[in-house]
């Protein structure tokens, strides 16, 4: 089927741009959380404060990566809505709202994290608390993203995306919802659940590659 003005779902260029945005989100998100910030947030509060103070450029670079991810996420929400609104208008609007809601929470949590460097000299424990607030905001945002993922799985299942990828996105949504709710209600179980997030990485990477390679959604 050829792309037309009335069938944006089959717009290969726009679909590939969605894949490119997804790639930016995956790379920046993993880099910020695992490579840059994660190593600094290990140990007791005093150790975390000392690590952040010693590696401020690394912490600030993680903030930059998160900002890039946030901008890409907002743009991707709009691109997906443009591609999917004719397929199922109500579902496309719901997916847009939940993804933008997640973006709002991530942006708010970044404000908490960005305040940490200024607090390190006088209030190091408060600086560490700001990193906890950032993590909490991120987890609440992932609840919204989990709902978005379930809606997106349904939208993808209505189009050309392979069922295994759509199913993977649905599974990722369940993982996001379960993981975030565990952190809020039973944090002691969170560490045991963390390997499940590999499902999210695999499913979203598969969708990213499908969009980039095929230009179909």
Residue 7 pairs in a beta bridge with 4
Q: Which residues have CB under 8 Å from 16's CB, separation 6+?
A: 211, 212, 215
Predicted local confidence at residue 7, as pLDDT = 47
Predicted local confidence at residue 10, as pLDDT = 74
Q: What is the pLDDT of residues 74-100, one digit of tens each?
A: 999 999 999 999 999 999 999 999 999
The fraction of the chain above a pLDDT of 90, given in percent, is 95
Structure tokens given for 42:
């290990």
Predicted local confidence at residue 4, as pLDDT = 42
Q: Are 206 and 165 in contact (CB under 8 A)?
A: yes
- Asked if residue 187 belongs to a domain, the reply is yes
- Asked if residue 4 belongs to a domain, the reply is no
Asked whether the whole model's pTM tops 0.75, one would answer yes
- Asked if residue 38 belongs to a domain, the reply is yes
pLDDT at 190 over 70: yes
- Asked if residue 196 belongs to a domain, the reply is yes
- Asked if residue 3 belongs to a domain, the reply is no
Instruction: Return d(Cα 116, Cα 109) in angstroms, integer.
Output: 11
Domain span at 169: 9-214
Give 13's pLDDT tier (boundaries 50, 70, 90).
very high
Number of domains in the chain: 1
pLDDT at 134 over 50: yes
| Mean pLDDT estimate for the chain | 94
- Asked if residue 155 belongs to a domain, the reply is yes
Instruction: Return d(Cα 121, Cα 26) in angstroms, integer.
Output: 33
- Asked if residue 194 belongs to a domain, the reply is yes
- Asked if residue 18 belongs to a domain, the reply is yes
């Amino acid at each position: 089927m050829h792309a037309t003005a009335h069938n944006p779902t089959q717009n290969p260029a726009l679909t590939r741009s969605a894949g490119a945005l997804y790639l930016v989100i995956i790379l920046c998100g993993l880099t910020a959380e695992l490579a840059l910030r994660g190593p600094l947030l290990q140990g007791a509060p005093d150790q975390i404060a000392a690590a952040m103070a010693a590696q401020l450029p690394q912490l600030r670079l993680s903030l930059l990566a998160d900002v890039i991810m946030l901008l890409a996420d907002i743009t991707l929400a709009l691109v997906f809505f443009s591609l999917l609104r004719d397929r199922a208008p109500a579902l496309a609007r719901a997916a847009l709202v939940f993804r933008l809601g997640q973006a709002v929470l991530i942006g708010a949590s970044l404000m908490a994290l960005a305040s940490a460097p200024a607090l390190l000299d006088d209030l190091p424990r408060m600086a560490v608390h700001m990193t906890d607030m950032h993590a909490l905001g991120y987890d609440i945002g992932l609840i919204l993203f989990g709902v978005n993922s379930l809606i997106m799985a349904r939208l993808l299942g209505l189009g050309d995306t392979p069922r295994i990828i759509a199913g993977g996105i649905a599974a990722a949504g369940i993982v996001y919802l379960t993981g975030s709710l565990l952190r809020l209600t039973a944090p002691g179980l969170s560490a045991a659940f963390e390997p499940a997030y590999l499902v999210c990485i695999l499913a979203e990477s598969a969708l990213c590659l499908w969009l980039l390679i095929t230009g179909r959604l």
